[in-house]
């Protein structure tokens, strides 16, 4: 079993919380920026990328501020890992702060960080933010 290391990233978005909710918490929204297609059944998300499929079990879903899931492969390996997308709106500036928490193997940390930066870049493009 390979150990994974937790990492956290923070992104500022010029959008409203309500618009971001749709992009983070619905299969249609996630399909616009995170994966080629996303389906949900019985609290399991199915992500499709370039012909490959990954499944994740939803651990927490609060449409007002967060979604947290665990990849089924990590669950099967008994790893204590998760991926969480959480946001808050700064009361002064109204800027939305998106917090990403994920896990990666030490050798893959740079690649995982770049992947999230690319994905959030796509989210910003879709949002026009």
* pLDDT number for residue 1: 55
pTM listed for this prediction: 0.91
- Tell me the pLDDT tens digit for each residue of 55-109: 999 999 998 899 999 999 999 999 999 999 999 998 888 889 999 999 999 999 9
Within 8 A by CB and 6+ apart from 69, the residues are 45, 56, 57, 58, 59, 82, 83, 84
Residue 36's pLDDT band, with cuts at 50, 70 and 90, is: very high
Q: Which residue(s) pair with 49 in the sheet?
A: 52
Cβ neighbourhood burial of 10 (10 Å; 0-12, 13-18, 19+): exposed
CA distances from 4 to 38, 71, 81 (A): 25, 13, 8
Q: What is the CATH number of domain 5-127?
A: 3.30.530.20
Domain regions of the chain by residue span: 5-127
Number of H helices, E strands in the chain: 4, 7
pLDDT (mean) for 6-35: 93
Greater model confidence, 2 or 66? 66
Over residues 33-43, the mean pLDDT reads 95
């Amino acid at each position: 079993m390979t150990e994974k290391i937790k990492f956290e990233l923070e992104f500022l978005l010029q959008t409203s919380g309500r618009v971001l909710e749709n992009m983070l918490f619905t299969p249609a929204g996630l399909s616009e920026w995170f994966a080629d297609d996303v389906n949900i059944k019985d609290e399991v998300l199915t992500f499709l990328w370039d012909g490959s499929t990954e499944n994740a079990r939803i651990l927490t879903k609060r449409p007002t501020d967060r979604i947290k899931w665990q990849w089924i492969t990590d669950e099967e390996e008994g790893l204590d890992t998760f991926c969480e997308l959480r946001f808050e709106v700064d009361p002064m500036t109204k800027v939305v702060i998106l917090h990403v928490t994920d896990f990666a193997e030490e050798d893959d940390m740079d690649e995982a960080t770049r992947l999230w930066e690319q994905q959030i870049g796509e989210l910003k493009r879709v949002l026009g933010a």
